[in-house]
């Protein structure tokens, strides 16, 4: 009886693997492709642009500061593999005016052809306790991190659907998979991206357009250095659970997953666990991925409970620590 059940299971898994080409997208060819990277003048975005350029793509960088854009262009051009490759720079705020974003995307398409891959990497972070963050910070993060991903995507999607070709990448964060101390404004803007990506993927899959959401851990970039200046102690201690990644490594993984059309892109063992644990109703892009999620869910939740316990401990210890000087004051 047991043998029969085991044989049945094996047959079922084999069957799944036979139909797997039906759910695995055809990889995108980067040589000659037009890749637009928002936030491409710094950090992870710049490394993504370099990675695509190294594989023969034509690049459009989108960011606000023109000097940083030109410097990034120079850095990227060092990696050219043929003399036809172009790096185009566009200075625009992706979060302000949809029409403006649509116009610059049009200009880029006129120069370098239709966009094959859009990477939404422009973003920023602000941390602090809920009551200490300015209300305007919630608006700002939502408009840069969320609307700043909606506008460029909205500007490229029609052509992608018509051509039956395309990749849209969203850069969320591990803080877009779990909410943690200090990130009430940031986490919510990064969670929003996940909802957008899931809904969009369901719409565009029949048109051979694939969506990728990346969830990087802390990554060594100018953005992180800026964030660290005002990060609460609790946030820092909790974030230290995961090691700081190199932007080149994060970029390589994101580009690889985007080419393959994987919905999820994560890095490291905790990235892998977090993505399995929070897969929810996310689309699945390979049988192996689906099976791994089914098999590991209970184990990873168990591990997560220990992490949550340790995070609560950090928060409590910091609270007690901060209360101490006051006690001393009162007795003095
Ligand atoms: N570094 C980290 O630890 C992690 C980062 N992330 C996410 O990855 C992304 C990149 O982060 P990172 O490389 O650290 O960031 P950086 O601060 O190093 O770079 C941010 C880039 O985005 C551009 N940008 C910011 N705001 C706008 C805007 N309104 N319009 C157009 N461009 C804009 C910046 O150029 P300019 O200012 O000139 O416009 C710059 O090119 C962000 O979305 C971030 O949330 C996720 C997880 C971890
Ligand atoms: C099985 C469960 C495993 C659980 C592992 C949990 C690890 C939590 C660490 C969260 C770190 C958050 C990094 C945010 C980075 C970021 O987005 C900012 N630096 C942006 O600037």
* Of 228, 193, 239, residue with least CA distance to 38: 193
The verdict on whether 186 is a catalytic residue reads yes
Could you tell which of 124, 147, 189, 253 is best to mutate to test the pocket of ligand 1, judged by most ligand atoms within 8 Å of the CB?
A: 124
Residue 41 annotated as binding?
Answer: yes
* 23-46 confidence digits (pLDDT tens): 789 999 999 999 999 999 999 999
Task: Report how far apart the first and last C-alpha atoms of the chain are (Å, whole number).
Answer: 77
Q: Which atom of ligand 1 is closest in space to residue 69's alpha carbon?
A: 38
Average pLDDT, the chain: 95
Q: Which atom of ligand 1 is closest in space to residue 65's alpha carbon?
A: 38
Q: Which ligand approaches the C-alpha of residue 228 most closely?
A: 2
Cβ of residue 189 lying under 6 Å from some atom of ligand 1: no
Residue 93 annotated as binding?
Answer: yes
Residue 301 has pLDDT above 60, yes or no: yes
Q: Give ligand 2 pocket residues (Cβ under 6 A).
A: 125, 173-175, 180, 217-218, 223-224, 227, 239, 241-242, 270, 273-274, 277, 300, 303-304, 307
Q: Which atom of ligand 1 is closest in space to residue 172's alpha carbon?
A: 46
Ligand 1 centre to CA of 38 (Å) is 9
Report the complex ipTM: 0.98
Cβ distance 283 to 265 under 8 Å?
Answer: no
pLDDT of residue 203: 98
As a whole number of angstroms, the distance between CA 31 and CA 263 comes to 22
CATH code of 28-304, in short, is 3.40.50.720
Nearest CA to ligand 2 atom 15: 218
Q: State the Rg of the chain over Cα.
A: 22
Residue 68 annotated as binding?
Answer: yes
The verdict on whether 256 is a catalytic residue reads no
Give 103-151 as a DSSP string. Answer: HHHHHHHHHH-S-SEEEE---------TTTS-HHHHHHHIIIIIIHHHH
Neighbours of 169 (CB within 10 A): 26
Domain boundaries, the chain: 28-304
Q: What is the DSSP letter of 164?
A: T
Residue 328 has pLDDT above 60, yes or no: no
Cβ distance 282 to 263 under 8 Å?
Answer: yes
As a whole number of angstroms, the distance between CA 324 and CA 188 comes to 32
Active-site residue (options: 127, 149, 153, 172): 172
* Of 55, 178, 180, 83, residue with least CA distance to 128: 180
* 49-77 confidence digits (pLDDT tens): 999 999 999 999 999 999 999 999 999 99
pLDDT of residue 327: 54
Ligand 1 centre to CA of 191 (Å) is 16
Structure tokens at 95: 């979060």
Locate tokens 């995108």: which residue? 28
Cβ distance 236 to 264 under 8 Å?
Answer: no
* 213-270 confidence digits (pLDDT tens): 999 999 999 999 999 999 999 999 999 999 999 999 999 999 999 999 999 999 999 9
As a whole number of angstroms, the distance between CA 124 and CA 122 comes to 7
Residue 13 has pLDDT above 60, yes or no: yes
Residue 97 DSSP SS3 = coil
Residue 163 annotated as binding?
Answer: no
């Amino acid at each position: 009886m047991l043998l029969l059940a085991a044989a049945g299971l094996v047959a079922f898994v084999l069957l799944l693997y036979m139909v797997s080409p039906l759910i695995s997208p055809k990889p995108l060819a980067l040589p000659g492709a037009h890749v637009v990277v928002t936030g491409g003048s710094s950090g992870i975005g710049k490394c993504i642009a370099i990675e695509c350029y190294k594989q023969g793509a034509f690049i459009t960088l989108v960011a606000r500061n023109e000097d940083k854009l030109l410097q990034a262009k120079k850095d990227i051009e060092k990696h050219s593999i043929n003399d036809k490759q172009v790096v185009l720079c566009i200075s625009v705020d992706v979060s302000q005016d949809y029409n403006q974003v649509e116009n610059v995307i049009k200009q880029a398409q006129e120069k370098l052809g239709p966009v094959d891959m859009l990477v939404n990497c422009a973003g920023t972070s602000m941390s602090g306790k809920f009551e200490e963050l300015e209300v305007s910070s919630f608006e700002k993060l939502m408009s840069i991190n969320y609307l700043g991903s909606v506008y460029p995507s909205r500007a490229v999607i029609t052509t992608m659907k018509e051509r039956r070709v395309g990749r849209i990448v969203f850069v969320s964060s591990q803080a877009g998979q779990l909410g943690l101390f200090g990130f009430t404004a940031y986490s919510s803007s990064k969670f929003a991206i996940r909802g957008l990506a899931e809904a969009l993927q369901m719409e565009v899959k029949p048109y051979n357009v694939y969506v990728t959401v990346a969830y990087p851990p802390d990554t060594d970039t100018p953005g992180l250095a800026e964030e660290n200046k005002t990060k609460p102690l609790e946030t820092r201690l909790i974030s230290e659970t995961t090691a700081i990644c190199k932007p080149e490594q994060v970029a390589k993984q994101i580009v690889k997953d985007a080419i393959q059309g994987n919905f999820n892109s994560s890095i490291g063992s905790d990235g892998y666990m977090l993505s399995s644990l929070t897969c929810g109703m996310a689309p699945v892009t390979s049988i192996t991925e689906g099976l791994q999620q089914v098999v590991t869910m209970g184990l990873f939740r168990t591990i997560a409970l220990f992490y949550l316990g340790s995070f609560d401990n950090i928060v409590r210890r910091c609270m007690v620590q901060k209360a101490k000087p006051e006690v001393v004051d009162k007795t003095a």
